[in-house]
Amino acid sequence: MLVLLVSRRLNQEASSHKLGDLVAYHNIANDGVFHRALADAEVTAALWLLLVNSLTDKHAIGQPSFELMQKLAKQPKASVEKFLAKQR
């Protein structure tokens, strides 16, 4: 659930935040199988790493902690940029 919420904050322009749609949006390699535990876990992990790297690369946040990700997930969409700017 946390991955979904963080993705909604960092990828507000995505048309959908369903796992399969996010995988396609980010061009994450997959075998096209969803709703199977291992396949979903693998692409969710890849998505998580992509989100962490986005914070590092795009938002200049050195090593985003899990706590920061939790706080980001709770931010209103309109205040995400301001929140991220304070984290630098």
- From first to last of its 88 residues, the chain has per-residue pLDDT tens of 899 999 999 999 999 999 999 999 999 998 887 778 999 999 999 999 999 999 999 999 999 999 999 999 999 999 999 999 999 8
Query: Identity (one letter) of the amino acid at 31?
Result: D
Instruction: Give me the number of domains the chain comprises.
Output: 1
How far, in Å, CA of 10 to CA of 72, rounded?
A: 9
Q: Give how far the C-alpha of residue 31 lies from the chain's centroid of Cα atoms, to the nearest Å.
A: 20
Give every CB contact of residue 51 below 8 A, 6+ residues apart in sequence: 3, 6, 7, 10, 69
Structure tokens at 30: 């997959």
Q: Give how far the C-alpha of residue 59 lies from the chain's centroid of Cα atoms, to the nearest Å.
A: 13
Give every CB contact of residue 72 below 8 A, 6+ residues apart in sequence: 6, 9, 10, 80, 83, 84
Q: What is the predicted pLDDT for the residue at 49?
A: 97
Q: What is the predicted pLDDT for the residue at 33?
A: 79
Structure tokens at 81: 């940029």
Domain that includes residue 48, residue range = 2-87
Q: Give how far the C-alpha of residue 84 lies from the chain's centroid of Cα atoms, to the nearest Å.
A: 14
